[in-house]
Amino acid sequence: MTCDEVSLGVPASDVDKARGALGAPAKVAIVLGSGLSGLADEAADAVVVPYGALDGFPRVGAVAGHAGRLVAGTVAGARVLLFQGRAHLYQGVTALDAAYPARLAAAAGCDTLVVTNAAGGVREDLRPGDLVLISDHLNLMGTNPLVGWPGPEGGFPFVPMRDAYDPGLREVMRETAGSIGIVLSDGVYAGLLGPSYETPAEVRMLRELGADVVGMSTVPEVIAARALGMRVVGLSLVTNAAAGIGLSHQEVLEAGVQAAERMKRLMTAFVACLAAMS
- H-type helices in 26-164, by residue range? 95-98, 100-107
Which one of the spans 19-27, 118-126, 258-266, 268-276 is the region binding ligand HPA (CB under 6 A)? 118-126
Residues 230 and 239: their CA atoms lie apart, in Å, by 28
| Binding-site member from 35, 85, 120, 220 for ligand HPA (CB under 6 A) | 120
**Cβ of residue 121: shortest distance to ligand HPA, in angstroms?**
8
Residues 240 and 259: their CA atoms lie apart, in Å, by 12
- 33 binds ligand HPA per the rule CB under 6 A: no
- List, as one string, the DSSP characters of 140-176: ESS--TTTT---TTSS------TT-B-HHHHHHHHHH
**Cβ of residue 85: shortest distance to ligand HPA, in angstroms?**
14
| Binding-site member from 8, 164, 225, 252 for ligand HPA (CB under 6 A) | 252
- 216 binds ligand HPA per the rule CB under 6 A: yes
Which one of the spans 125-133, 135-143, 177-185, 213-221 is the region binding ligand HPA (CB under 6 A)? 213-221
- Omega cis (within 30) before 195: yes
- 97 binds ligand HPA per the rule CB under 6 A: no
CA torsion 72→73→78→79, rounded to 10°?
Answer: 30
- 35 binds ligand HPA per the rule CB under 6 A: no
Nearer to ligand HPA among residue 63 and residue 273 (C-beta): 63
Tell me the C-alpha to C-alpha distance, in Å, between residue 198 and each of 34, 141, 219.
Answer: 18, 13, 17
Residues 278 and 273: their CA atoms lie apart, in Å, by 9
Closest CA to 235 of 34, 95, 25: 34
- 202 binds ligand HPA per the rule CB under 6 A: no
Nearer to ligand HPA among residue 107 and residue 242 (C-beta): 242
Nearer to ligand HPA among residue 54 and residue 214 (C-beta): 214
**Cβ of residue 157: shortest distance to ligand HPA, in angstroms?**
27
Nearer to ligand HPA among residue 111 and residue 251 (C-beta): 251
Angle between helices 100-107 and 12-20 (to 10 degrees): 70
**Cβ of residue 252: shortest distance to ligand HPA, in angstroms?**
5
| Binding-site member from 84, 139, 176, 239 for ligand HPA (CB under 6 A) | 239
What is the DSSP pairing of strand 44-50 with strand 69-75?
antiparallel
Residues 242 and 272: their CA atoms lie apart, in Å, by 33
Nearer to ligand HPA among residue 214 and residue 233 (C-beta): 214
Count the site residues for ligand HPA by CB under 6 A: 12
Using CB atoms within 10 A of its CB, is residue 163 exposed (0-12), middle (13-18) or buried (19+)? Answer: middle
**Cβ of residue 197: shortest distance to ligand HPA, in angstroms?**
5
- Note the residues at the interface with ligand HPA (CB under 6 A): 118-120, 197-198, 214-216, 239-240, 242, 252
